[in-house]
Amino acid sequence: MDYSLLPVFIAITEQGSLTKAAEYLHMTKSAVSKKLAALETQTGIRLVTRTTRHLQLTEAGQLYYTYLKKAHQAVLDGQDALSHYSREVDGTLKISAPAVFGSLHLANIMPEFLQRWPLLQAEMVFDDKLTDLVGEGFDLAVRIGELQNSSLIARVLSPCRSVLCASPAYLARHGTPQELTDLKYHNCLFYSYFRAGQSWTFLHRGDVVRFTPQGTLRANNSLALHQAVLQGTGICQLPQFIAAPDIRAGRLIPLLPEYPLPLHHIYAVYPDRDYLPKKVSAFLHFLQDALGTEGHYQKEYEQDLSAFQAAERAG
Q: Does residue 228 or residue 14 have the better pLDDT?
A: 228
Question: Could you tell me the domains of the chain?
Answer: 3-83 (1.10.10.10), 91-157+265-301 (3.40.190.10), 162-262 (3.40.190.290)
pLDDT at 87: 64
Beta strands 207-211 and 153-160 are: unpaired
How far is residue 307's CA from residue 315's CA, in Å, rounded to a whole number?
Answer: 12
Distance in angstroms between the alpha carbons of the first and the last residue of the chain: 76
Q: Does residue 25 or residue 251 have the better pLDDT?
A: 251
Confidence class for position 314, pLDDT limits 50, 70, 90: very low
Confidence class for position 194, pLDDT limits 50, 70, 90: low
Tens-place pLDDT, residues 196-205: 557 899 999 9
Q: Does residue 235 or residue 88 have the better pLDDT?
A: 235
Is 84 a residue whose pLDDT tops 70? no
* Distance from chain centroid for Cα 121: 19
How far is residue 119's CA from residue 91's CA, in Å, rounded to a whole number?
Answer: 7
Confidence class for position 6, pLDDT limits 50, 70, 90: confident
4-29: average pLDDT? 86
How far is residue 32's CA from residue 9's CA, in Å, rounded to a whole number?
Answer: 9
pLDDT at 312: 47
Q: Does residue 298 or residue 146 have the better pLDDT?
A: 298
Closest CA to 254 of 174, 186, 190, 177: 177
Q: Does residue 5 or residue 313 have the better pLDDT?
A: 5
| Residue 281: C-alpha distances to residues 122, 157, 258, 269, 298 (Å) | 14, 14, 41, 12, 22
Half-sphere exposure of 183 (CA within 13 A, CB side): 25
Is 195 a residue whose pLDDT tops 60? no
* Distance from chain centroid for Cα 22: 23
| Helix 278-291 / helix 107-116 crossing angle, nearest 10 deg | 130
Contact (Cβ atoms closer than 8 angstroms) between residue 200 and residue 260? no
pLDDT at 240: 96
Confidence class for position 61, pLDDT limits 50, 70, 90: confident
Q: Does residue 81 or residue 49 have the better pLDDT?
A: 49
% of the chain surpassing 90 pLDDT: 53
Contact (Cβ atoms closer than 8 angstroms) between residue 218 and residue 234? no
Is 308 a residue whose pLDDT tops 80? no
Main-chain dihedrals φ then ψ at residue 165, nearest 5 degrees: -150, 165
Is 276 a residue whose pLDDT tops 70? yes
Exposed, middle or buried, 84 (CB in 10 Å: 0-12/13-18/19+)? exposed
Residues 6+ apart with CB under 8 A from 159: 263, 264, 265, 266, 298, 302
pLDDT at 264: 94
Exposed, middle or buried, 226 (CB in 10 Å: 0-12/13-18/19+)? buried
How far is residue 253's CA from residue 248's CA, in Å, rounded to a whole number?
Answer: 9
Type of residue at 150: S
Contact (Cβ atoms closer than 8 angstroms) between residue 71 and residue 193? no
How far is residue 246's CA from residue 178's CA, in Å, rounded to a whole number?
Answer: 21
Is 159 a residue whose pLDDT tops 50? yes
pLDDT at 307: 46
Contact (Cβ atoms closer than 8 angstroms) between residue 259 and residue 119? no
Contact (Cβ atoms closer than 8 angstroms) between residue 59 and residue 49? no
Q: Does residue 227 or residue 3 have the better pLDDT?
A: 227
How far is residue 179's CA from residue 26's CA, in Å, rounded to a whole number?
Answer: 55
Contact (Cβ atoms closer than 8 angstroms) between residue 116 and residue 86? no
How far is residue 102's CA from residue 242's CA, in Å, rounded to a whole number?
Answer: 12
Tens-place pLDDT, residues 206-243: 999 999 989 999 998 899 999 999 999 999 999 999 99
Mean pLDDT for the chain overall: 87
| Residue 277: C-alpha distances to residues 90, 142, 284 (Å) | 10, 17, 11
pLDDT at 311: 42
Most confident of 123-132, 167-176, 263-272: 167-176
Confidence class for position 137, pLDDT limits 50, 70, 90: confident
